[in-house]
Structure 1
Amino acid sequence: MRPLIIPFKDKTPNIHKQAFIFPQTSIIGDVRIEKECSVWFGSVIRGDVNAIFIDEGSNIQELTNIHVDYPNEGKGEVRIGKFVTIGHRCIIHACEIGDRVLVGMGSIIMDRAVIGSESIIGANSLITKGKTFPPRSLIMGNPAKLIRELSEEEIAFITTSANHYISLAREYESSIPSLHLP
């Protein structure tokens, strides 16, 4: 039931002691997860050929896969900003996601894509390779397109969502004593 934390070559996952790592997750290689992040049941974060960085307060929901690409022109890693919510069953591959972004369920973000801070990606959207979106974007579709700029209320909701998952993970602490890794 415990998560699988697996070193790969000379890299071992670096997980903050105040992160919440749920059972049945796999975290491999060059991965750094900051405080108050949560990685939910069944997710896989595989930093085998490049690095993955997940900043403070972000949550990776059930069955999401995060992977990297081989380094090429300094690219190929995954960077996820602060207070990001990544919905259920997403694929995040060799891309950059800014601070306070909400990624809707079932979305795919491909290599070298860049998502500006304070953006929302609609459920089941496909962000194609190399696509860049500015901050405060509503992004939707397959392939995804910029729909419009977000309102202040929508931007506030992104932070509310991330804080909700921090609170929800804390509620699990009494039921799952191994949520914090030593």
Structure 2
Amino acid sequence: MRKKEKILLCMVVVTALLSILILSGFSDTNAGASEGPQNIRPNVIASFNAEVDTPEISPESFIDPQSAVIGNVHIGKGVYVAPFASVRGDEGQRIWVGDETNIQDGVILHALETEENGEVVEKNLMEVNGNKYAVYIGDHVSLAHQCQVHGPAVVGNHTFVGMQAFVFKARVGDNVVIEPAAKIIGVSIPDGRYVPAGEIIKTQDAADNLPEITDSYVFKDLNAGVLHVNEQLAEGYLKDSE
């Protein structure tokens, strides 16, 4: 074998070995980075957050890998969190999500700061059953695509929050339907009412005069159907991930 051919062969071998080493190192780095679900993680310390908290999630719930659950968050059993949903308990806290609730694609749960330099910001908290929360979502609630619940806020049991609806500084009762693109700001919605699509409710008088849900209301059973679908999605994706 000629000298030039030997040199060329050596260069090929060295290049191959270097490629193997680089790829091996890359794989190891990726393996280390993927230990534990990276989309479920603790908050960071800040002036409005003196402690590090990791989300509490029932093993009976499914959190899609393309969603984010951060910080002081409780997620009950049978919950489905869909792709691109964001549940951020890293500013206002805590965020509570009840049993068999669904958080659909693009939903945002977030809140104003509830602490500043060690002092509790009471105005940004709401009380439920003797405990205070930045955001409280009850049991059997459907949060439909791209809606936002921004604390301080409470959403009661068996309530449907429609696509692109917005709830802020508000308390929504049980068995309520908020139709798509409605805005609820600074009021309390009584139990068993519905908010028509696109309506903006900013006064308590407007909230108190919302129509009641009757047997003739077209979306009376909407939430039950949505819950049925999302409960099965949670169960199915959990089984698939085992």
Fold in common (TM above 0.5): yes
Q: Matched residue of 1:53: which SS?
A: strand
Cα deviation for residue 155 of structure 1 reads 4.6
Corresponding position: 1:21 with 2:77: no
- RMSD, aligned α-carbons: 2.0
Corresponding position: 1:75 with 2:124: yes
Q: Distance in 2 between matches of 1:88 and 1:66?
A: 12
**Does structure 2 retain, via aligned residues, the 8 Å contact 1:83–1:163?**
no
Deviates more, 1:153-162 or 1:4-13: 153-162
TM-score normalised over the length of structure 2: 0.67
Corresponding position: 1:39 with 2:81: yes
* Counterpart among 224, 230, 233 of residue 159 in structure 1: 224
The structure that is strand-richer by fraction is 1
Using a 3 Å threshold, how does the CA distance of structure 1 residues 24 and 172 change in structure 2: closer, same or farther? same
Cα deviation 1:46-73 (Å, max 9, x = unaligned): 0013110000000000011110112232
Q: Matched residue of 1:32: which SS?
A: strand
Cα deviation for residue 160 of structure 1 reads 3.3
Q: Distance in 2 between matches of 1:107 and 1:91?
A: 6
Of structures 1 and 2, the one scoring higher in RCO (CA 8 A, sep 6+) is: 1
Corresponding position: 1:143 with 2:200: yes
- Map 1:50-65 to 2 at 5 A: 50-65=93-108
Cα deviation for residue 174 of structure 1 reads 5.1
TM-score normalised over the length of structure 1: 0.87
Structure 1: which amino acid aligns with 2:194?
A: L
Using a 3 Å threshold, how does the CA distance of structure 1 residues 3 and 103 change in structure 2: closer, same or farther? farther
* Counterpart among 15, 29, 39 of residue 4 in structure 1: 39
Task: Give the match for residue 172 of structure 1.
Answer: 237
| Residue-pair matches, total | 175
Structure 2: which amino acid aligns with 1:22?
A: D
The structure that is helix-richer by fraction is 2
Cα deviation for residue 157 of structure 1 reads 3.7
* Counterpart among 141, 164, 170 of residue 106 in structure 1: 164
**Does structure 2 retain, via aligned residues, the 8 Å contact 1:3–1:21?**
no
Deviates more, 1:92-101 or 1:165-174: 165-174
Structure 2: which amino acid aligns with 1:92?
A: V
Bigger Rg over Cα = 2
Q: Distance in 1 between matches of 2:199 and 2:221?
A: 26
Cα deviation 1:81-140 (Å, max 9, x = unaligned): 0000000011110110000000000111112x0000000001011111x21110001013
Corresponding position: 1:85 with 2:134: no
